[in-house]
Chain A
Amino acid sequence: GDSVTQTEGLVTLTKGLPVMLNCTYQTTYSPFLFWYVQHLNEAPKLLLKSSTDNKRTEHQGFYATLHKSSSSFHLQKSSVQLSDSALYFCALNSGTYQRFGTGTKLQVVP
Chain B
Amino acid sequence: AQTIHQWPVAEIKAVGSPLSLGCTIKGKSSPNLYWYWQATGGTLQQLFYSITVGQVESVVQLNLSASRPKDDQFILSTEKLLLSHSGFYLCAWSLDWGTSAETLYFGSGTRLTVL
Give A residues with C-beta under 8 Å from B. Answer: 29-32, 34, 36, 41-46, 49, 51, 87, 89, 93, 95-98, 100-103, 105
Contacts and interface: CB of A to CB of B under 8 A. Distances in A.
Interface of B: 41-46, 49, 59, 90, 97-109, 111
Given A89-B43, A96-B98, A103-B41, 18 more contacts: A29-B100, A32-B101, A43-B90, A44-B44, A44-B90, A46-B105, A49-B103, A51-B101, A89-B44, A93-B100, A93-B101, A95-B98, A96-B97, A100-B43, A100-B44, A100-B45, A102-B42, A103-B43
A36 B101 CA distance: 14
A97 B44 contact: no
A34 B103 CA distance: 8
A96 to B, nearest CB: 5
A101 to B, nearest CB: 7
Contacts, number: 52
A93 B94 CA distance: 13
Describe B's contact surface by its main secondary structure.
loop
A51 B103 CA distance: 13
25 contacts: A29-B100, A30-B100, A32-B101, A34-B103, A36-B104, A43-B109, A44-B106, A49-B101, A49-B103, A51-B101, A87-B41, A89-B43, A89-B44, A93-B99, A93-B102, A95-B98, A96-B49, A96-B97, A96-B98, A97-B59, A100-B44, A102-B42, A102-B43, A103-B42, A103-B43
